[in-house]
Amino acid sequence: MTAIDTPARRGPGPAARLAARAGSGAVRVGLLLTAVFWLVPTVGLLISSLRGPADISTTGWWRVFTDPAQLTLHNYADLMGNSTITHALLNSVLITVPATVLVIVIGAMAGYAFAWLEFPGRDWLFLLLIALLVVPIQVALIPVTKLYATFGIFGSLVGVILFHTAFGLPFAIFLLRNFFAEIPRELLEAGRLDGAGELRLFARVVVPLGGPAIASLAIFQFLWVWNDMLVALIFANSGSAPLTVALQQQTRQFGDNIDVLSSGAFLSMVIPLAVFFAFQRQFVSGITAGAVK
C-alpha cells in the first residue's frame, strides 16, 4: 500500500525517470507542442461552427485570425431551430443515458456476484461471459432484428437501448468483477461482521471502492453509445434516430446544411467531453490506500 502512496520511492524506473524529466524545459515544450497539434482539428471545427456558411465553403477556418469579424453564433441558432437536429439530440440523450446507467448498475451487481458470492457454476458462467466478449456485433444484427420484430420494438428507442446494454454488459461485468476481486477480503468480512447484508455491503463498501473502475466504464460506455451509428442506423427509425444519424443525413445535402453540420458535430463532440470532466474527479488512484496495513 505504501508503494501506491509514494511510487517515486520505488527507485528510478524508466517511467519514473521520464516523469521526473517532465519537469524540465525541453520535455515540457515537447508535450505542449504535441497537445496543441492534437487540438488543431477540434479548434478548427469549433471555429468553423462559428463562421457563416458562405465563409466555410470559400475559405479555411484560419482566416478568422486575420478577420475575426466573421465569428457569429448564427449556426448555433440555426441548429436549435432545426427540429430534426434538436429531436435527434434528445434521442441521443434518451439512448445514451439509460444504456450507460443500465450497464453500470447491472454490470456492477453482476461483477460483485462473480467476484464475491458463491453459487454453483459461477466460474463456468464467467468463462462463458468472457467468450461473449469476442462475439462481433455484426453477427447479432440479423437475429436481433428478427427478435425485435417479434416483440414489436424494432425502430424504437427501447430496442436501441437494449442492444447497447446487452453488448456493453460482458465487458462491464468482466472489468468490474476483476476490479472488485482486488478488494481485500477482510474489508467485506468486516462489513458482514458489522451487520451489513449483501445489498448494503455492495452499496456502501464495494461501489465506493469501485469508484475509479465504474467511472472509467461509464465514460467508455457513454462514448461508445453516443458515437454509435451502426446500431442506430439499423434499429432506430426516423423518430428515434440519434444525433449521429441525423448529422449523417445532413451531409447528403452538403452545402445547404454546412452550418448545421459544423455546429452539430461540435455539439456532439462536446457532450462526451463534459461527461468526462464530470467523472474525472473519480479517477483518483489509490483509493484503497489505508484499508489494510
Partner 1 sequence: MATVTFDKATRRYPGAERAAVDKLEIEIADGEFLVLVGPSGCGKSTSLRMLAGLEDVNDGAIRIGDRDVTHLPPKDRDIAMVFQNYALYPHMTVADNMGFALKIAGVNKAEIRTRVEEAAKILDLTEYLGRKPKALSGGQRQRVAMGRAIVREPQVFLMDEPLSNLDAKLRVQTRTQIAGLQRRLGTTTVYVTHDQVEAMTMGDRVAVLKDGLLQQVDSPRNMYDRPANLFVAGFIGSPAMNLVEVPITDGGVTFGNSIVPVSREALTAAAEGGDRTVTVGVRPEHFDIAGCEAASLAKDEPAGVAVTVNVVEELGADGYVYGTAEIGGTPTDIVVRVGGRHVPMKGEVLHVVPRAGEIHVFSTSTGERLSD
Which residues contribute to the site for partner 1 (CB under 8 A)? 5, 184, 186-187, 189-197, 200, 204-205, 208-209, 211, 286-293
In angstroms, rounded to a whole number, what is the distance separating the alpha carbons of residues 260 and 269? 14
Residue type at position 220: F
**Three-state secondary structure call for residue 219:** helix
Distance in Å, CB of 127 to partner 1, minimum: 20
Instruction: Report CA torsion sign: 49, 53, 55, 58.
Output: positive
Which of 191/242 has CB closer to partner 1? 191
Residues 6+ apart with CB under 8 A from 28: 22
- Nearer to partner 1 by C-beta: 155 or 210? 210
The least CB distance from residue 291 to partner 1, in Å, is 4
Which of 104/232 has CB closer to partner 1? 104
Taking the alpha carbons at both ends of the chain, their separation in whole angstroms is 8
Tell me the three cell numbers of residue 76: 448555433
C-alpha–C-alpha distance, residues 148 and 155, integer Å: 9
From the CB of 181, what's the least distance to partner 1, in Å?
16
Q: Report d(CA 239, CA 63) in Å as an integer.
A: 39
Cβ proximity to partner 1, 68 vs 197, nearer residue: 197
Least distance between partner 1 and beta carbon 258 (Å) = 50
The answer to whether residues 145 and 235 touch, using CB atoms and an 8 Å cutoff, is yes
C-beta of 146 vs 204, nearer to partner 1: 204
CB distance 79 to 144 below 8 Å: no
- Residue 250 CB-density burial (10 A; 0-12 exposed, 13-18 middle, 19+ buried): buried
Nearer Cβ to partner 1 (52/184): 184
Minimum separation from the CB atom of position 190 to partner 1 (A): 4
- Please, what is the minimum distance in Å from the beta carbon of residue 290 to partner 1? 3
